[in-house]
């Protein structure tokens, strides 16, 4: 196994160090905080050597050196690179394992490349536990360098249910960090869907806590089986010191570190419809307005939330709706990866991405296998919803999904990702949409032109003048 330098020994860095050491990798360790590297080196025994400075870290490794950065994304990454570059030589490698913005990764690749140093962007998913026992790793950058490093990272990565390591080179350049960003955008939307289901079950249907817990546990064992569903069961299984469910004591605001927003921004920037991914970010922003929400409820009242329908039927509908919406979210994420990859020419293979997400990462679920199969069978598939198997699974719960959204809307329960996802599917399957009216309005007020059936080119019209007194609108 190649020897590695590790820089940044916080929870993620230290756990990855332990994982690497378990797999026989010799480590040189550096952290700017006093004593951290020494402490970890003691823990690791003969596998780890503490280094006092970035220069010493470089000196502890034989050329070509590989240094794995696990420092916070942003300025700390730039500072780490600056501290290393003067000591590195052509052919050396820096890997950034943080949640970096992909354009920063491209900039850093160019800057390091000027000194002949390879800079690789690794999307590492799975949190602290994953880092310790097997993360999913989405690697981006130079193929030859990655081929050399692959055995080490495949060894420490999670294994998919079929035993394949969840480590892959997903493409050139900044592909690894972009794919990880979209992973997080999907994570936001899948989490939001579970939260919307929770809100409906607990606060609209008013099911007892234990009943929702058992239901989630059943879902986690069935078609909805996923790591996030398991997290939801754990959330409901945990009691406070006084024996009441901890979840009832948690403030209903969700923070965010930015990757979900980057995903939504990329969708807007590249003109890709990804409403579920964007709505999940908006939902977190709305959740943060706790004081305003409380004040509004006190002054104008919350929407009515009394449900008098068939509880059993709605619970069953919710299970089907969740599956359909989860697939739709993934379809948007993959469509975004494909579109941005086409612009940058990273050469991302969606089947490889789906396979890498089958284990270790936060969005791992049984859905990734049929998605990988769909892309393996049709690498040019323009939208996952055009795969027959997945489409059948989405529409198997079509009526139930509508029932969930209609019921939520009728009772004033916001379900932004359930409804945005349904609108996406409905929009995608409707040959004639509302945009003729938008095109007409644009031409009326701005002479922007419109396309006309059966007549190529741009058109303008001699639009009717305004006559609001005539029922026929001007004639």
Beta-carbon contacts of 472 under 8 Å, excluding residues fewer than 6 positions away, are none
Would residue 312 show up in a list of annotated catalytic residues for this protein? Answer: no
2 contributes a contact to ligand 6PG by CB under 6 A = no
Binder of ligand 6PG out of 10, 74, 127, 449 (CB under 6 A)? 127
- Tell me the per-residue interface mask from 183 to 202 with ligand 6PG, x by CB under 6 A, - otherwise: -x--x---------------
Residue 448 is labelled as binding a ligand: yes
- Give the count of residues interacting with ligand 6PG (CB under 6 A): 13
Catalytic residue among 82, 147, 159, 180: 180
Q: How many residues comprise the chain? A: 475
**Residue with smaller CB distance to ligand 6PG, 171 or 260:** 260
**Residue with smaller CB distance to ligand 6PG, 254 or 409:** 254
Residue 23 is labelled as binding a ligand: no
Residue 284 is labelled as binding a ligand: yes
Which long-range contacts does 208-213 make (Cβ < 8 Å, 24+ apart)? 209/236, 209/245, 209/247, 209/248, 212/236, 213/237
Binder of ligand 6PG out of 8, 48, 54, 126 (CB under 6 A)? 126
256 contributes a contact to ligand 6PG by CB under 6 A = yes
Binder of ligand 6PG out of 15, 66, 105, 125 (CB under 6 A)? 125
Q: How far is the CB of 363 from ligand 6PG (least distance, A)?
A: 8
160 contributes a contact to ligand 6PG by CB under 6 A = no
What is the DSSP track for 168-231?
A: EEEESTTHHHHHHHHHHHHHHHHHHHHHHHHHIIIIIS---HHHHHHHHHHHHHTTT-BHHHHH
CB 16 within 8 A of CB 31: no
Neighbouring C-beta atoms of residue 149, cutoff 10 Å:
23
Name residues contacting ligand 6PG, limited to 285-304 (CB under 6 A).
none
Q: How far is the CB of 259 from ligand 6PG (least distance, A)?
A: 5
Would residue 180 show up in a list of annotated catalytic residues for this protein? Answer: yes
The 3-class SS string of 82-112 reads HHHHHHCCCCCEEEECCCCCHHHHHHHHHHH
Neighbouring C-beta atoms of residue 161, cutoff 10 Å:
11
- Give backbone dihedrals phi and psi of 224, rounded to 5 degrees, phi first: -90, 10
Going by C-alpha positions, the residue among 21, 8, 146, 140 that lies closest to residue 77 is: 8
Three-state DSSP state, 119: strand
Catalytic residue among 147, 187, 255, 279: 187
Alpha-helix residue ranges (DSSP H) falling in 345-387: 350-356, 368-377
Q: How far is the CB of 187 from ligand 6PG (least distance, A)?
A: 5
Residues facing 459 on adjacent strands: 450
Binder of ligand 6PG out of 206, 218, 257, 452 (CB under 6 A)? 257
Binder of ligand 6PG out of 157, 168, 273, 362 (CB under 6 A)? 362
> What residue is closest to ligand 6PG based on CB?
125
Binder of ligand 6PG out of 19, 49, 99, 276 (CB under 6 A)? 99
**Residue with smaller CB distance to ligand 6PG, 77 or 99:** 99
Residue 184 is labelled as binding a ligand: yes
Which residue has tokens 């690794």?
A: 122
| Cα–Cα distance measured from residue 225 to residue 228, given in angstroms and rounded to the nearest whole number | 8
Binder of ligand 6PG out of 69, 361, 368, 408 (CB under 6 A)? 361
Binding segment for ligand 6PG among 21-29, 119-127, 231-239, 313-321 (CB under 6 A)?
119-127
For residue 354 the two structure tokens come to 């789906």
What is the DSSP track for 284-353?
A: HHHHH-HHHHHHHHHHH-PPP----S-HHHHHHHHHHHHHHHHHHHHHHHHHHHHHHHHHHT----HHHH
Please give the annotated binding residues for substrate, written as ranges.
99, 125-127, 183-184, 188, 257, 284, 442, 448
- Active site amino acids: 180, 187
Please give the annotated binding residues, written as ranges.
99, 125-127, 183-184, 188, 257, 284, 442, 448
Q: Which residues lie near ligand 6PG (CB under 6 A)?
A: 99, 125-127, 184, 187, 255-257, 259-260, 361-362
């Amino acid at each position: 196994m190649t020897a590695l330098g590790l820089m940044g020994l916080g929870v993620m860095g230290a756990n990855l160090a332990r994982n690497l050491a378990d797999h026989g990798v010799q480590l040189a360790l550096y952290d700017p905080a006093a004593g951290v590297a020494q402490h970890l080196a003691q823990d690791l025994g003969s596998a780890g050597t503490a280094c006092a400075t970035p220069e010493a870290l470089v000196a502890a490794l034989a050329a070509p050196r590989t240094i794995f950065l696990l420092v916070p994304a942003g300025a700390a990454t730039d500072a780490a690179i600056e501290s290393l570059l003067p000591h590195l030589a052509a052919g050396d490698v820096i890997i950034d394992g943080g949640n970096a913005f992909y354009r920063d990764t491209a900039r850093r690749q160019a800057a390091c490349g000027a000194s002949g140093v390879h800079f690789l962007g690794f999307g590492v998913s799975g949190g602290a536990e994953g880092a310790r026992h097997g993360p999913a790793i989405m690697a981006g950058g130079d193929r030859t360098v990655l081929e050399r490093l692959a055995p080490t990272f495949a060894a420490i990565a999670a294994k998919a249910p079929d035993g394949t390591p969840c480590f892959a080179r997903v493409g050139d350049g900044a592909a690894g960090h972009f794919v990880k960003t979209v992973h997080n955008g999907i994570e936001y939307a899948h989490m939001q869907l579970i939260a919307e289901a929770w809100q409906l079950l607990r606060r609209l249907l008013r099911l007892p806590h234990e009943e929702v817990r058992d239901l989630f546990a059943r879902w986690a064992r069935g078609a909805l089986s996923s790591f996030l569903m398991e997290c939801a069961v754990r959330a409901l299984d945990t009691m406070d010191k006084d024996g009441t469910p901890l979840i009832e004591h948690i403030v209903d605001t969700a923070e965010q570190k930015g990757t979900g927003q980057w995903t939504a921004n990329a969708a807007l920037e590249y003109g890709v419809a990804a409403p579920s991914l964007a709505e999940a970010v908006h939902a977190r922003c709305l959740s943060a307005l706790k004081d305003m929400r409380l004040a509004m409820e006190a002054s104008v009242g919350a929407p009515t939330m009394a449900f008098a329908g068939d509880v059993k039927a709605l619970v069953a509908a919710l299970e089907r709706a969740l599956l359909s919406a989860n697939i739709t979210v993934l379809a948007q994420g993959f469509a975004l990866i494909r579109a941005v990859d086409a612009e940058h020419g990273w050469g991302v293979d969606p089947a490889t991405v789906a396979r890498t997400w089958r284990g270790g990462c936060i969005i791992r679920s049984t859905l990734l296998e049929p998605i990988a199969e769909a892309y393996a069978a049709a690498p040019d598939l323009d939208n996952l919803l055009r795969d027959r198997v997945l489409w059948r699974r989405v529409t198997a719960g079509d009526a139930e999904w509508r029932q969930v959204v209609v019921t939520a809307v009728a009772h004033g329960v916001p379900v932004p990702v359930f409804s945005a996802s349904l609108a996406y599917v409905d929009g995608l399957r409707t040959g004639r949409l509302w945009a003729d009216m938008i095109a007409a309005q644009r031409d009326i007020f701005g002479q922007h032109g419109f396309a006309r059936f059966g007549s190529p080119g741009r058109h303008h019209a001699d639009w009717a003048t305004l006559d609001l007194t005539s029922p026929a609108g001007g004639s």
